[in-house]
Amino acid sequence: MLWPLFLLVTAIHAELCQPDAENAFKVRLSIKTALGDKAYAWDINEEYLFRAMVAFSMRKVPKRETTEIAHVLLCNVTQRVSFWFVVTDPSKNHTLPAAEIQSAIRMNRNRINNAFSLSDQTLEFLKIPSTLAPPMDPSVPIWIIIFGVIFCIIIVATTLLILSGIWQSRRKNMEPSEMVDTEDKRENMITVENGIPCDSLDAKGGHINDAFMTEDERLTPL
């Protein structure tokens, strides 16, 4: 007597949960990729756990606290492992809206992942985008700190070099100051050669050939 009822229920289930059905989501697991040797086989017990996690997530949604595991339907399980699921309301005639399921799963994504020892990439809910963890953002970017350090070192080194150059030239200026007095007297007299001041001979007409102004004279000075 119960058989026709059972058949009716499974028939309704089959209609509600179908690939690309309204409010249905596809789930894809890559257990071998994630765990390698420690991969577990996907069987009906794992499916039960999954349905429990989805029911748990739905229970956290206001007005859906009465969701039971039996309300979560799975279908089309493949080798991949992938399957479709829907969540029905207590009357088991309608499926819950996709938006509610989406937000519920997103809120509890971490818990669901951890239950299966998987991650966002290896346990995929197609059409439910996961919130990615933002990269670490320090208040002061690290590069500015290093830039500041190097910048200060360079400024200090440059200032030191410039200042030491100024000190050195001041020291040089102080030494020959005694000798300058005697030379000044000589410079005030204009040297005259053949009645022509030597300065004017220098300025006009003569070209200075730089190639001959070498310091290391190979010939001894006359």
Nearest Cα neighbor of 67 from 81, 75, 56 is 56
**Closer CB to other proteins, residue 65 or residue 184?**
184
Nearer to other proteins, 53 or 118 (CB): 118
Taking the CA atoms of 166, 170, 171 and 172 in sequence, report the sign of the dihedral they define: positive
- Nearest CB to other proteins, comparing residues 4 and 206: 206
State the SS3 of 80-112. CCEEEEEEECCCCCCECCHHHHHHHHHHCHHHH
Residue numbers of the site for other proteins (CB under 8 A)?
28-33, 78-82, 129-132, 134-135, 142-144, 146-147, 150-151, 154-155, 157-158, 161-162, 165, 169, 200, 204-205, 209-211, 213-216, 218
Q: How far is the CB of 48 from other proteins (least distance, A)?
A: 21
CB of 44 or CB of 211, closer to other proteins: 211
Cβ of residue 7: shortest distance to other proteins, in angstroms? 28
CB closer to other proteins, 24 vs 29? 29
CB of 116 to other proteins, least distance (A): 13
CB distance 81 to 42 below 8 Å? yes
Question: How is residue 203 written in tokens?
Answer: 């300025």
CB of residue 134 to other proteins, shortest distance in Å: 6
**C-alpha dist (Å) from residue 117 to 58, 97, 131, 189:** 21, 28, 18, 102
Burial 161-191 (b: 16+ CB within 10 A, else e): eeeeeeeeeeeeeeeeeeeeeeeeeeeeeee
CB of 147 to other proteins, least distance (A): 5
